[in-house]
Structure 1
Amino acid sequence: MSEHVKPTDTADPLAGGDRTDAATEAFVTHRNLLFTVAYEMLGSAADAEDVLQETWLRWTGVDLDTVRDQRAYLVRVTTRQALGRLRTLRRRKEAYVGPWLPEPLLTAPDVAEDVELADNLSMAMLLVLETLAPTERAVFVLREVFDLDYDEIAEAVDKSPAAVRQIAHRARAHVAARRPRGTVSPAETRGALQAFHQAIETGDLQRLLDILAPDVVFLGDGGGLAQAALEPIVGADRVAPLAAGLSRFGAASLQSTQVNAYPALVLRLDGEVDTVMAMRIDDGLITGLYAVRNPEKLSRMERETALRR
């Protein structure tokens, strides 16, 4: 559902006014939370909006008098819808042209202040979550990001609490082995980004080599709609010249902004967003560069997306 469409636009006109208003108020109250749950599970804002639309349609048919905890109920419905969507999305990714990257979101500074939420929203972390099976991802997100108890999660994923505990343990171990080696603060990322930005603008190849890890990985997502590398590019000696080449865009402007709660670079051509570049940092060096160029994934870069736990 678009942020510009009110939930009442899809409400049943035959429903009682007070009941419709109560349902709308509850949904609007939790909307940003529900979007965040869906986005964390899917890595796609467009699909997260579709999940919210489906959740709203189901919510309008619920007898509110039977719902003890509206927040928990809405999270449960959203999770179930996202799980179904995640399985469909995985099939779409198999036919995707080149590497698939999460859809970048322009985020407000207050999102970065929630360190735990910011860490899990980062492009690097979302790529780690991509390696989990659908149910593992749902359990990890609901437990580690939103701190739901095992009973609530069990209802959302249709498993027993004991099974959910086992899945959570397995997912935590899987993520721990693949996530960035230490918590990187936005300030550290900002420092690395500034050095990277300056090196690009000056075309200083040696400076780029100094801030890139020897085994840095560059992923470009054009989705077949914009030019991008079809395979990962590995190694500082290959990635540095590629990054330095950005300075050759004559009519381009390279700006630092807040993407998925972390500093990132946005390349604009003639005022239009052309590329969003996020990074992963380990031990003070850039180990991952993620360039999103697919125009279908850049629409959320013109306005801030409200996220919350």
Structure 2
Amino acid sequence: MHTDSVTDVFEEHRPMLHGVAYRMLGRVADAEDVVQEAWLRWSAADHEGVRTPRAYLVRVTTRLAIDRLRQAQARRESYVGPWLPEPLVTDFGGQAPDSAERAVFTESVTLAMLVVMESLSPLERAVFVLREAFGYGYEEIAGILDRGEAAVRQLASRARRHVEEGKPRFEVDPARQRDLTERFLAAAAGDDLDGLLSLLADDVRLVGDSGGKAKAPLRVIESADKVGRFLLAIAGTAAENLEFRFLELNGGMALMALYGGVPDAVFQVDIVDGRIQTVYIIRNPDKLEFLADR
């Protein structure tokens, strides 16, 4: 295969390979590292012996992601405070898929779904991602993982059961998310506790991720009153020159706070029955640096 053809084939499949790796790992940087390693293996492969490049590349990427996830899970045991996935920009622009395709795409990359998938073993997660997000058949997945089809079906069943048990029932509507987020921001900035409480579900949860590198709660905060008072407290200490910007992350509308032009925090909410069910705050600078040009 000609060098240009080798590169073109890989670039054609790069978005899908990144999609597999990100859903497996929950980190953009790790996903990019895995895809780069897949490229190195692809560029050194005997291409005459590769009948289906897509199958080869997905197989290599999935296996690399499984290995990296095992290492990441060990590191996360010592992570300071709650861990959240690294935000992924999902603004489709003029390349938006149809509504059905977008619904599948969106559900599989939401922060809530990625957090639920953290409970899966690396093999369960690989099967779930390939089956549910990319529509692979059990026989194909068995070939990718070098497992028997019966074993893959068992892994899929266990993964689906775990996900269903923890699966959030939120509304994925970017316009609704933006509206509630704008009202949420206005109430917090206006020291309006009653207004804030009217937006929050009674059992709302606030999950902050700082990795110990910025100020954020080290435990999940629960209940409307506690979450509301916490948000008013941090709003009262916010720097005056903070800039706020809306952008689409993980299939939903999010609010990014910038301090001196540098991303300082990302806020995103999950909505159930028209009220905010979960507030996510990501402040770990390692997870925000790639958003600097957004």
TM over 0.5, yes or no?
A: yes
Choose which of 64, 83, 94 in structure 2 pairs with 1:100: 83
Letter paired with 2:198: D
Structure-1 residue corresponding to 2:151: 163
Shift of 1:79: 0.3
Structure-2 residue corresponding to 1:3: none
* CA distance in structure 2 between the aligned counterparts of 1:215 and 1:48, rounded to whole angstroms: 34
Answer yes or no: is 1:298 the counterpart of 2:288: yes
Q: Which moved more, 1:152-161 or 1:123-132?
A: 152-161
Aligned pairs for 1:227-306 within 5 A: 227-248=215-236, 249=238, 250-303=240-293
Deviation per residue, 1:137-191 (Å, 9 max, x gap): 1111100001111122112222111211121122112212211225533233233
* Alpha-carbon distance change, 255 to 242 in structure 1, aligned in 2, over 3 angstroms: farther
* Alpha-carbon distance change, 288 to 189 in structure 1, aligned in 2, over 3 angstroms: same
* Alpha-carbon distance change, 106 to 184 in structure 1, aligned in 2, over 3 angstroms: closer
* CA distance in structure 2 between the aligned counterparts of 1:284 and 1:173, rounded to whole angstroms: 27
Shift of 1:52: 1.0
Percent of paired sites with the same residue: 46
Answer yes or no: is 1:214 the counterpart of 2:197: no
8 Å contact 2:172–2:252 — kept in the other structure? no
Q: Which moved more, 1:71-80 or 1:170-179?
A: 170-179
Letter paired with 2:24: M
Secondary structure of the 2:269 match is strand
* CA distance in structure 1 between the aligned counterparts of 2:201 and 2:146, rounded to whole angstroms: 43
Answer yes or no: is 1:83 the counterpart of 2:59: no
Structure-2 residue corresponding to 1:143: 131
* CA distance in structure 2 between the aligned counterparts of 1:101 and 1:136, rounded to whole angstroms: 19
- Greater relative CO (CA pairs within 8 A, separation 6+): 1
Answer yes or no: is 1:71 the counterpart of 2:54: yes
**Unmatched tracts of structure 1, length 5 or more:** 1-17, 305-309
Aligned residues: 287
Shift of 1:46: 1.0
8 Å contact 1:224–1:294 — kept in the other structure? yes
Q: Which moved more, 1:87-96 or 1:209-218?
A: 209-218
Shift of 1:302: 3.1
Choose which of 16, 26, 29 in structure 1 pairs with 2:12: 29
8 Å contact 2:81–2:209 — kept in the other structure? yes
* CA distance in structure 2 between the aligned counterparts of 1:106 and 1:302, rounded to whole angstroms: 12
Secondary structure of the 1:81 match is helix
* CA distance in structure 2 between the aligned counterparts of 1:156 and 1:39, rounded to whole angstroms: 17
Q: Which moved more, 1:141-150 or 1:67-76?
A: 67-76
Shift of 1:19: 2.8
8 Å contact 1:106–1:302 — kept in the other structure? no
Q: Which moved more, 1:89-98 or 1:185-194?
A: 185-194
8 Å contact 1:109–1:261 — kept in the other structure? no
Secondary structure of the 1:132 match is coil
Shift of 1:303: 4.6
Shift of 1:61: 2.0
Shift of 1:195: 2.4
Secondary structure of the 2:245 match is strand
